[in-house]
Structure 1
Amino acid sequence: MKMNKKLALVAFLCLSATYLNAQDHRFVTVNPTKPDATEFYDPEVRVVTPGAIPSDAIVLFDGKNLDNWESAKDGSAAKWDVKDGAMTVVKGAGNISTKQKFGDYQLHIEWRSPIEPETLKSQGKGNSGIFMQGMYEVQVLNSYQNRTYRNGQAGSIYKQTAPLVNATSKMGDWNVYDIIYTAPRFTVNGGIETPAYVTVIHNGIIVQNHTKIQGTTEYIGQPLNPVHGKGPISLQDHGNLVSFRNIWIREM
């Protein structure tokens, strides 16, 4: 039985007069005439107490021990030095990773390049790295008056994207990274649905602004895009005695 054209038109107009607000799961009019038609109260926004460490943060290193870390190579106990509230690379001990794995997050981490002789240059000076999900590196380097390739200096997405500016503190001083990271999503057949993105704030200055990560940050060759889930935060042993402190993360 065919629907009367007038009834069909009425039904169409009625459906068109409303839309579903995905956040609050309720219908509102397309052209509201009252202010409360676009005011949403539920669910209430979660409260987080701000401070040096936000109330919902996971502390990954509090300056006392490496209980939250392990060898990236074999999962054994992390063998870096802990002294005076900081952890420091032990040359040859290898990279270390968090025992816990993460997807999207806000990461706070402070790092310091060691006092090294002027004979060390470029990538040989204060070199380390912070790897999101164990495979995407934000470079750590003594880039204070130390010229190197643009996409390999401090604040770069290693071998991919140079930082907007060089905000590195002088040798021996502490640097601060605040990293906002969105993990990649993959399709069921192994393709990239959405790539990874990262924002890096270095000593209070934005040096990566929602930067697309092309894939793994390879030393040689093009980026790779293996399918993966959550991954650890990894810190690199590149042979320089770089120190880290005040490491916390907020999952998003």
Structure 2
Amino acid sequence: MKSIATVVAFLPLAATAELKSVPLFNGTDLSGWKGEGYVVQDGTIVCTPQGKTLVTERIYADYAFDFEFKLPPGGNNGIGIHYPGSGDAAYAGMEVQVLDNTSEKYKDLKPYQFHGSLYTLLAAKKAPLKPVGEWNQERIAVRGDRVQVTVNGEVITEGNLADLSKEFPKHEGVKRRSGHIALCGHGDAVAFRNMRISEAAPAANDEGAKQSGFTQIFDGETLKGWKHTEADLAHWQPVNGILKYDGKAKDLWSEKEYGDFSLAFDWRWAGPGPVMKRPVIGPDGKETGEQIEVQELDSGVYVRGNSKSQVNLWNWPCGSGEVYGYRTDRSQPADVIAGVTPKKKMDKPVGEWNRTMITMKGDKLTVSINGEVVIEEARLPGVAAKGKIALQHHGSLIDFANIWIKEL
């Protein structure tokens, strides 16, 4: 089977157009954030003397984060990006400095400690900061390997994370391409407001997909073609080509039924899950008795309108693509159980996009993840000849994008 990349391929990264942004802070409380030592005052988030790390509940990748900040004399804070949620944000992720460079106590700063620098990694140009006590505007943009920091309209930091990871091989955070956003407090009363984020969907060759016979079944802006109510829009939210789901509503079903098809789409986990032990599954589809701790994240795609023929998207040791309903059905022949077990785990780290293709022809299923076939012509005895497709969930935060289908 051809790699999915030959049909819905990544395009070279071009300049990112201005995208619709959504609030990251509601101006009233700390909904959507976790941590202690920060308070909301007059529509701003203010670090208290006890403030350390305040973290978004969601995970982000490929975005522009816009905000305003106000420094007290000698104020010190930071913006953690690609932060995994634990450890020191400056090393487990990366920290963009937020600092009053004019303070006498910082007269001996190292170049990478000035405002806008990636701490220990990349020095910024001198930031055009306004006088202490006035509001400044800042944008932190990350897309793939690129990072850029703009303060009050002037670009002060530009870097390539792949190059920096080679220069600093022991720095774990610079290797990451997704994670939480964090405020990295040092007990100073630094204030933040008007915090918004605009995320970019992964690039895809739409024209190539059309020429290959694929039809878009998510237009990136609405839920047209999917059964839904107005209430569902609070949970299944289309933004900038991304279908963002908060795990708090019902599964999303296509209006149309499909028989033989190839379904291509991108997906990623948009938030962490609880750490649990999950079984190791052998190539024969049987559990080996060994268990590994993973973040419990669980979703999937129902094909032919049936939960038994669900292609799992999950974080188990065996990887996504597994068909749980058939693998755990001990009445099935051994070749069926082995066939619906992934050949290898091809999932990218939590928070990063995965490109997937599901093909159904007759009762045969093939699944490709990130360019690698993990399920190849597995038999699904008794599967319906036709049925609707559903984006299924078990409460995990998940994003979808670039959903295309070709009827065979």
TM-score range, shorter chain: 0.5 to 0.7
What SS does the aligned partner of 2:396 have? coil
Instruction: Spell out the pairing of 1:159-198 with structure 2 (5 A cutoff).
Output: 159=325, 160=327, 161-183=340-362, 196-198=363-365
Identify the residue that residue 57 of structure 1 maps to in structure 2: 214
Aligned residue type for 2:380: I
Identify the residue that residue 91 of structure 1 maps to in structure 2: 247
Could you say if the C-alpha distance between residues 241 and 54 of structure 1 is closer, same or farther in structure 2, counting changes exceeding 3 Å? Answer: farther
1:66 aligned onto 2:223: yes
Identify the residue that residue 323 of structure 2 maps to in structure 1: 157
Contact 1:107 1:250 in 2 (8 A): yes
Gaps of 5+ in 2: 1-205, 279-293, 328-339
What SS does the aligned partner of 1:108 have? strand
Identify the residue that residue 140 of structure 1 maps to in structure 2: 313
Paired residue for 1:126, among 297, 300, 305?
297
Q: Distance in 1 between matches of 2:246 and 2:225?
A: 17
Instruction: Spell out the pairing of 1:189-228 with structure 2 (5 A cutoff).
Output: 196-215=363-382, 228=384
1:192-242 per-position Cα deviation (integer Å, ceiling 9, x unaligned): xxxx11111110001011111145xxxxxxxxx6xx552111111210011
Q: Distance in 2 between matches of 1:127 and 1:205?
A: 21
Contact 2:300 2:313 in 1 (8 A): yes
Q: Distance in 2 between matches of 1:139 and 1:85?
A: 23
What SS does the aligned partner of 1:233 have? strand
1:117 Cα shift? Answer: 5.3
Could you say if the C-alpha distance between residues 229 and 212 of structure 1 is closer, same or farther in structure 2, counting changes exceeding 3 Å? Answer: closer
1:63-109 per-position Cα deviation (integer Å, ceiling 9, x unaligned): 111111114xxxx4653122232112232311011111110011101
What SS does the aligned partner of 1:166 have? coil
Could you say if the C-alpha distance between residues 83 and 142 of structure 1 is closer, same or farther in structure 2, counting changes exceeding 3 Å? Answer: farther
1:144-196 per-position Cα deviation (integer Å, ceiling 9, x unaligned): xxx3xx4xx4111124221011001011000011111124xxxxxxxxxxxx1
What SS does the aligned partner of 1:51 have? helix
Greater mean alpha carbon deviation, residues 57-66 or residues 167-176: 57-66
Paired residue for 2:401, among 211, 230, 245?
245
Q: Percent identity among equivalent residues?
A: 29
* Number of residue pairs aligned between Structure 1 and Structure 2: 170
1:42-76 per-position Cα deviation (integer Å, ceiling 9, x unaligned): xxxxxxx97144353221113111111114xxxx4
Contact 1:130 1:140 in 2 (8 A): yes
Identify the residue that residue 44 of structure 1 maps to in structure 2: none
What TM-score, normalized to structure 1?
0.61
After TM superposition, the runs of 4+ consecutive aligned structure 1 residues lying more than 4 A away are 120-124
Identify the residue that residue 234 of structure 1 maps to in structure 2: 390
Contact 2:267 2:353 in 1 (8 A): yes
What TM-score, normalized to structure 2?
0.39
Gaps of 5+ in 1: 1-48, 184-195, 216-224
Q: Distance in 2 between matches of 1:125 and 1:64?
A: 29
Could you say if the C-alpha distance between residues 247 and 54 of structure 1 is closer, same or farther in structure 2, counting changes exceeding 3 Å? Answer: farther
RMSD: 2.4
Q: Distance in 1 between matches of 2:218 and 2:320?
A: 22
Aligned residue type for 2:321: G
Contact 1:126 1:242 in 2 (8 A): no
Aligned residue type for 1:60: I
Contact 2:263 2:403 in 1 (8 A): yes
Q: Distance in 2 between matches of 1:85 and 1:142?
A: 24
Whichever structure has more strand as a proportion of its residues is 2
Q: Distance in 1 between matches of 2:343 and 2:247?
A: 31
Identify the residue that residue 33 of structure 1 maps to in structure 2: none
Aligned residue type for 2:371: G
